Amino acid sequence: MLEELKERVYRANMMLPENKLVISTWGNVSEIDREKGLFAIKPSGVAYKDLTPDKIVVCDLKGNVVEGNLKPSSDMPTHLEIYKNFTNANAVVHTHSRWATIWAQAGKSISAYGTTHADYFYGAIPITRKMTDEEISSEYERNTGRVIVETFVSHRTSPSKMTACLVQSHGPFLWGEDAISTVEKAVILEEIAFMAWHTEMLAYKKETTTLKMQQQLLDKHFLRKHGDNAYYGQQG
């Protein structure tokens, strides 16, 4: 089972450069086996061209390496905080994708301007507060996860309806059912970030509130796919 998990996480990580979400060694993907209490993650600083399934690192829920000869991603403690606090998170994806990172660097959430956004994310993609000097200097990566969780608690946002967050001055983190589908969601987030930026630029003289889609339309598009009475796609 661990070999299957490592293979899936390897494939998901390789999808990041394939979809131009990262360059160099940026970004990482992990997936958790909650029954075993173990998760697989990309090793730190390994170029994608050199990545193989056997190099994927397996960690326990204390962050200890239980399988693999390489160090796990430096963002591993961030992934761990998300797994511990968001029970719907079975995979975590972090990228430095261009457009989503532009929003993170600007310290701005991505408002829901249209149905493309609403099909996948229920409302604005939230932005965290700036981290304190103490949070940065001590346990930085773990505190990155904590500030994501804090954002959802303080905004009373459901991590099952909103499965992405922009870390201010850093970039996007997403979570989902499995590694592959969560990377696919990261591709969608990048496109949404691109469209939102251009929407604001095109209509910059208008009040931002007039650009936001109607709440009823947001509800319709999100809930027809993800609600209790969802009807989008093939049933049964």
Domain CATH number, residue 217: 3.40.225.10
Residue ranges making up the domain that contains 30:
2-226
Taking residue 11's Cβ as centre, other Cβ atoms within 10 Å add up to 15
Residue 98 belongs to what H/E stretch?
A: helix 98-106
Residue 199: band (very low, low, confident or very high) from pLDDT cuts 50, 70, 90: very high
> What percent of the chain clears pLDDT 70, i.e. is strictly above it?
95
Residue 234 lies in a domain: no
pLDDT bracket for residue 103 (50, 70, 90) = very high
232 assigned to some structural domain: no
Q: Give the model's confidence band at 78: pLDDT under 50 very low, under 70 low, under 90 confident, else very high.
A: very high
* Residue 101 DSSP SS3: helix
126-161 residue pLDDT tens = 999 999 999 999 999 999 999 999 999 999 999 999
Residue 17 phi/psi, 5-degree rounding, is -70, -30
Instruction: State the catalytic residues.
Output: 119, 232
Domains held by the chain: number: 1
pLDDT band at 171 (very low <50, low <70, confident <90, very high): very high
117 occurs within a structural domain = yes
Nearest to 5 by CA among 53, 45, 52, 46: 53
- CB environment 28-40: b (16+ within 10 A), e (fewer): bbbbbeeeeebbb
Mean pLDDT value across residues 224-233: 81
At 29 the three-state DSSP class reads strand
pLDDT at 236: 58
pTM of this prediction? 0.89
Instruction: Indicate whether 61 belongs to any domain.
Output: yes
**For the residues 60-71, what does the mean pLDDT come to?**
96
- Is the residue at 233 inside a domain? no
Residue 231 lies in a domain: no
235 falls within a domain: no
For residue 192, what pLDDT band results from cuts at 50, 70 and 90? very high
Judged against a pLDDT cut of 90, whether residue 227 lies above it is answered with no
CA distances from 188 to 108, 150, 184, 212 (A): 18, 24, 7, 19
Q: Is residue 54 part of a domain?
A: yes
